[in-house]
Amino acid sequence: MVSARSWGRTGATGRPLDLRSSQVRLLLLLLLLPLLHVWATTPEPCAVDDDDFRCACNFTAPEPEWSSAYQCMSAVEVEIRGGGRSLKQFVKFANTDPRQYADVVRALRLRRLTVGDAQVPALLLFALLRGLGSSRLNHLTLEDLEVIGSTPPPPPEATGPALSTLRLRNVSWAAGGAWLAQLQLWLKPGLTALTIAQAHSLAFPCADLRAFPSLTSLDLSDNPGLDERGLAAALCRDKFPALRELALRSTGVQTPGGVCAALAAAAVRPQHLDLSHNALRAAAAPGAPPCVWPSALSSLNLSSAGLEQVPAGLPAQLSALDLSNNQLNREPRPDELPKVRELALAGNPFQDPKNSGVVSACERLIQALGLSGTLVLLQAARSLA
């Protein structure tokens, strides 16, 4: 017989409890192994870094756990990707009065938000902007989205966030070319940087588009079908009065002169213009009238453009000209170049040591400096002349 006093030490069998407990733990471990395998092969849709600074969610599972996004409530940078599925099921929340949760939104640390890889009803997208109106969000990125359905009526005044940067890549809109004018009505003034890549429509109805008084940087790169004609349609006249930087990489433009004409028609006067990674022609288009470049233009990037000679019709004076990684077989003559303080020529065939067998000290200097700002050999020659 086992006494009541000894029961707690030995159990019913009289054996020590620590042995029995070890057996129980082993049995539980064997039972949990299949579950541990499932958990290991089914990653969480959301991941937060150790500092609660960045949170990324990718809802690719057949039945996504949307509630996992609550992990991102304390993050500064949040990325939400919908796994290519439709978000129609959330339209029922679009009519929620944002005043009900304004205090919660105001307390969020959120500064940067990326939403991508989903089919989003326009009603839901603009409800999201309205809901974030009281937040401190200043960078918004929309990628790989299909915005479907009609746009809700615009508010009497902008109720969305006060963004400084807006980036869009591969976003299609049911509204067609009117999407920018409609989106603009929901955002508070103050946007300084706008990027639109792989756009389905850049033919904006200029009459409906308001001016961007604070916009200093516009990047239309990675729109290979844009060309000079599309650029003239996208740059609505007098809508970009403060623009200082214009990037047109891989946009299908063919001549610097054609871009100059589009800038003149839109009254756009950038200080920095990037035409790199386009198949540029050195000769001006037949019958094209001479173009007067904006006097404010100080930096022109024509790198990686397949140029075999310096294009005609460049500005008469520049602070920086980038002709690197082209097909120049000889060093440009003084009469082919504008007056320029910094000239980049690295990566052209005439600098290849295999072409002549001799590398001059000046050529070695150009190769060392590269794109960071090559000293102008030509001006050195002029000073010695």
Taking only the tens place, the pLDDT of each residue in 239-260 is 999 999 999 999 999 999 999 9
Q: Please tell me the predicted confidence (pLDDT) of residue 286.
A: 76
**150 shares its domain with 72:** yes
**Which of 167, 43, 181 has the alpha carbon at shortest distance from 116?**
167
Say if 97 falls within a structural domain. yes
Clarify whether residues 240 and 166 are in a common domain: no
Q: Let me know whether 173 and 257 are in one domain.
A: no
75-116 per-position pLDDT tens digit: 999 999 999 999 999 999 888 888 889 999 999 999 999 999
Clarify whether residues 250 and 351 are in a common domain. Answer: yes
Please give the Cα distance from 182 to 264 (Å, whole number): 26
Look at residue 10 and tell me if it is in a domain: no
pLDDT at 313: 85
DSSP 3-state assignment of 130? helix
Question: How much of the chain exceeds pLDDT 90, in percent?
Answer: 69
Burial call 33-47: b when 16+ CB within 10 Å, e when fewer: eeeeeeeeeeeebbe
**289 and 151 share one domain:** no
Residues 225 and 184 in one domain: no
Q: Widest CA span of the chain, in angstroms?
A: 117
Q: How confident is residue 354, by pLDDT bands cut at 50, 70 and 90?
A: low
Contact 199, 223 (CB under 8 A): yes
Residue 297 lies in a domain: yes
Total residues belonging to the chain: 385
Does some domain include residue 47?
Answer: yes
Helices 227-234 and 256-266 pack at an angle, to 10 degrees, of 20
Would you say residue 183 has pLDDT above 80? yes
**Domain membership of residue 171 as a residue range:** 43-189
Domain assignment present for 31:
no
Query: Which of 153, 165, 221 shows the shortest CA–CA distance to 191?
Result: 165
Dist. CA 233–CA 223, nearest whole Å? 14
Q: CB of 268 within 8 A of CB of 287?
A: no
Domain boundary among 189, 207, 236: 189
pLDDT at 30 over 60: no
Within this chain, do residues 341 and 236 fall inside the same structural domain, yes or no?
A: yes
Domain stop point among 172, 189, 206: 189
Average the pLDDT over 176-200 and give the result: 95
Same domain, 358 and 246: yes
> Is the pTM here over 0.85, yes or no?
no
20 band by pLDDT with thresholds 50, 70 and 90: low
What is the reported pLDDT for 2?
45
Considering its fold, how many domains does the chain have in total? 2
Kindly state whether residues 181 and 250 are assigned to the same domain.
Answer: no
> Rounded to whole angstroms, how far apart are CA atoms 243 and 266?
11
Instruction: Tell whether 333 is covered by a domain.
Output: yes
Q: Are 177 and 47 contained in the same domain?
A: yes
Q: What is the pLDDT of residue 160?
A: 94
Residue 123 has pLDDT above 50, yes or no: yes
* pLDDT value of position 23: 62
Q: Which residues contact 298 (CB under 8 A, 6 or more apart)?
A: 271, 272, 318, 319, 320
* pLDDT at residue 25, rounded to an integer: 58
Is 196 among the domain residues? Answer: no
Output the domain CATH number for residue 153. 3.80.10.10
Dihedral-angle region of residue 172 (phi above 0 means left; psi in -120 to 50 means alpha; beta otherwise): beta
Q: Identify whether residues 53 and 113 lie together within a single domain.
A: yes
pLDDT in tens, 256-304: 999 999 999 999 999 999 999 999 998 876 777 788 899 999 999 999 9
Is 185 found in the same domain as 224?
no
301 and 323 Cβ atoms separated by less than 8 Å: no
Tell me, yes or no, whether 195 lies in a domain. no
